[in-house]
A and B are shown apart, each in its own frame.
Chain A
Amino acid sequence: MLQNMNSKAVVVRGLEKSYQDHQAVDGIDLDIESGEILALLGPNGAGKTTTVEILAGQKMRTHGSAEVLGADPAHAGRGKHGRAWRARIGIVSQAAGAAPELTVEELVSHVASCYPCPRDPREVIALTGLTEKKDKRIRTLSGGQARRLDVARAVVGRPELIFLDEPTTGFDPEARRQFWALIRQLSADGTTILLTTHYLDEAAALATRIAIIDRGRLVAQGTPGELRNNSGARNAAVSWEGADGQRQTKETSTPTRLITDLAAEFHGEIPGLTVTSPTLEDIYLELIAAEGGAQ
């Protein structure tokens, strides 16, 4: 148990959050190891934000247990030791507030002054690519720059654990790539990261583990590789040009045997042969569709 407390940043069992008219989170079990990047992937309304807010101490759960950095997030942010717990956590939420008349550097420096052992505000501004904007009022920033400022103020306190709730929504492709580099750098510094996203490529590119969530339930979790392998039962698509010139496609769980048979049939080269294994995206869409089909 003591071992657990040291190696796990987050331990969640049977987490539920219900509102009068619906169940936002419906029994989630989740572990996040210290230092890993876990992506919580799911469509809009799947319960990602609610889960993050419960873990960040911003919402109360209805059932289940949760431990974040060794403490129950329902109480850890309050009371005498609340400040110390809050200093270990950084949050980038979807509505992050505004201080339009401050400059970038003023805000980041002010936030840094709240923490016991902050990063250098200028370094953080450089890290988030805002050096050119550091003396500009926040109201003059573009959407993507404002989002990077949200990240800057979440990381300037040198938190051990960062919650990023859909950090790249609305980014252009280049801004997303830059943002991913930033996340990787934070991770390299030893920061544990919980990232929510509805972009599968983002989860696949960044996460050490992906947890797929839909309708408040986890439908799969594992490393990107494990998720692909677990779909081993799923069929690969083998496609070739038949004798009549028509394209033939066959889904099979034993593609090698099919190709061997085809090679014998064609006496060597199979015309126009392609073999496609399901992508992570196929698997994801299938999981979400399977859940949706139950509706």
Chain B
Amino acid sequence: MTPQAQTAARTSPDGASASTAAPPPLPNAWRAAAARGAIELRMFFRDQQTVGFIVALPAILLALLASIFGGHDAATGSGVTIGQLYTAGLIAGGIAGTSFTYLGITIAQERANGTLKWLAATPMPRTAYFAGKVVQVIVSALVETALLLAVGVAFYHVHLPSQASQWLTFAWVFLLGTAACAVAGIAMSSLPKTASAAGPLVSLTLTVLSFISGVYVVPLTTIPAPLRDFGSLFPLTWLAQGMRSVFLPSSAAHLEPAGSWQHGVTALVLLAWIAGGLAVCTRTFRWQPR
């Protein structure tokens, strides 16, 4: 064999010289993440229980709450209806449901039933698991938001923003809010001792926060200040206020406790939750049941 032929044999892509060649490369981490995202989306949208409770429930709540209270002005002469406030608030609540609640419960289940242990033993990069969850949460939260906006626009005088700057605000509030709630959900999934305890724990947490963060009770100023202040320690208050800043007329800022949309504080609080949540997750995440 000539030296050239030897070189050709070594670099031959068909693996003919497999005995001397390096083992075939592992699949690219990005492709693994994309594959995982596709699988997560299929599992999410095919499960009637999650589609019912996570996607449909907020839209049904909006239809109910807004048809009971919706026609009234939020405050005399404000030009803002209760229906508009509920639409923005439930968009925030829906995002928290698809990220915090869904991840908190399903990851606890996947840990308990051995899915995580098995995945960790495959050559899938472990980051691909989280990437898959990110894809699933973002897509399902967008679907959820679109559904709520459709209800709000059709029945409750919600107007889609016309300015690019408002959509930019939507984009960062959506992404930071989803990320903050998602890392909180992932961290929370390690807390309950059993998978069956995860559901009540996570749902209860979100329900309580939804009452004091401007989701179920609007406007936020109707909540007693101490409860409201407690709520403002968590991401949901800021996510909801951010959504109101996008979908409500600017005059509605006067209905906020601070009298303004507080975009700067919103970004800081959400970023702090993301950083803190990631720190907790990297320390506490377990691939096996206790």
Contacts and interface: CB of A to CB of B under 8 A. Distances in A.
B5 interface: no
Interface string B44-57: 00110000000000
Contact of B121 (A77, A98, A102): A77
Contacts of A93: 114, 117-118
Given A91-B121, A101-B46, A114 B27 contact: yes
Interface string B9-45: 0000000000000011111000110010001001100
Most chain B C-beta atoms within 10 Å of own C-beta, residue among A58, A77, A97, A98: A97
A56 interface: yes
B115 interface: yes
A123 to B, nearest CB: 18
A87 interface: yes
Given A77-B121, A97-B119, A157-B122, A87 B26 contact: yes
Contacts of A110: 35, 39
A84 interface: yes
A102 B41 CA distance: 11
A95 B114 contact: yes
B114 to A, nearest CB: 4
Interface string A84-115: 10110101010111111110001000110111
B121 A56 contact: yes
Given A83-B125, A102-B43, A157-B123, A116 B114 contact: no
Contacts of A157: 122-123
A102 B43 CA distance: 6
A18 B122 CA distance: 26
A27 interface: no
B interface bracket (residues with beta carbon within 8 Å of A) = 20 to 34
A116 B24 contact: yes
A117 interface: yes
A278 interface: no
A114 B26 CA distance: 8
A86 B47 contact: no
Contacts of B121: 56-58, 77, 86, 89, 91
B166 interface: no
A114 B117 contact: no
Interface of A: 56-58, 77, 83-84, 86-87, 89, 91, 93, 95-102, 106, 110-111, 113-117, 137, 157
The 3 closest A-B pairs by CB, nearest first: A97-B115, A95-B114, A87-B123
Given A87-B123, A114-B124, A116-B123, 16 more contacts: A84-B123, A89-B121, A91-B121, A97-B113, A97-B117, A101-B47, A102-B39, A102-B42, A102-B43, A102-B46, A110-B39, A114-B122, A115-B122, A116-B27, A117-B23, A157-B122
